[in-house]
Amino acid sequence: MKCPNCGFENKEDANYCSKCSHKLKDDTKLPGLEFAKETEVNEIIAFFIIGFGILSIMLFLVPLVGGMLYAITGILQILLMFQWMEVLNTNINNSLNILKYMDESKNGFFKSVTVSDYINKLKKSKIDMFWFWVYVLLYIFGGISRRYAIYINLASFIFLGIFLQMIFNTEKNLQMAKNHFYSILLPAKYRYMNQIKHRNFILVMLLTVITLGIYWYYLLIKHSSEINAFIAADQENRRHLI
């Protein structure tokens, strides 16, 4: 088989050119489909959060330094959770591209697949930034207010719980949808999508309180790592589709 890119003669059953690695056969399941770039969560931020958090507690009696470290810890936490949200929402958009392609297919390959329910569910699973920014504002006001700090921080804690539950529900719906359509599109070689552990925000908040914040630090590291593992597995599956 002659390579259309460099002219090198390859074996008839070759999939890629031995000289320039150009793809010789079009075995694409979803031709023409493109995906938005998904950046990984920066796991190093979680370790900085732990470091600055511990220092802020140790220097609590030095108001200026302790307050500054507390503010830095908060900013890094907000940045990390924003990355969670951005990565997951981008992955939803990429997943919707696949599902819409399957739903609109006219060649009969996907006739037996009902994907409209997954399309609607994933559209509803997009993480609303409103709850995130309400949490951020309350966190900031709770840090600078003295008179109403307890009440504002309590409200911030509640909105954080709402935001976390949205994150957890999104992850559950994403993994469920992907396991369904990848098992159809790539029955022999798809990677099972169970990298992100299913969590309940009430249990997360309870463990955070009981462990005096230690579990929260663990969650920041573990959850960031799980999201990255999920994205890597998903990208590996998509390489077989395009």
For residue 108, is pLDDT > 50? no
pTM: 0.79
Residue 61 has pLDDT above 70, yes or no: no
In sign, the C-alpha dihedral spanning 130, 169, 211, 224 is: negative
Q: Which residue has the higher pLDDT, 171 or 16?
A: 171
**Interaxial angle between packed helices 149-185 and 214-239, expressed in degrees from 0 to 180 and rounded to the nearest 10:** 30
Please say whether the beta carbons of 136 and 78 come within 8 A: yes
Predicted pLDDT of residue 31 = 59
Worst-scoring range by mean pLDDT, 96-105, 111-120, 186-195? 111-120
1 — pLDDT class (breaks 50, 70, 90): low
Q: Which pLDDT does position 160 carry in this prediction?
A: 87
Give residue for tokens 């320039």: 20
Q: What token pair was written down for 205?
A: 């908040």
d(CA 84, CA 89): 9
- The stretch 90-119 carries a mean pLDDT of 74
114-128 per-position pLDDT tens digit: 677 888 889 988 998
CA 177, CA 170: separation in Å to the nearest integer?
11
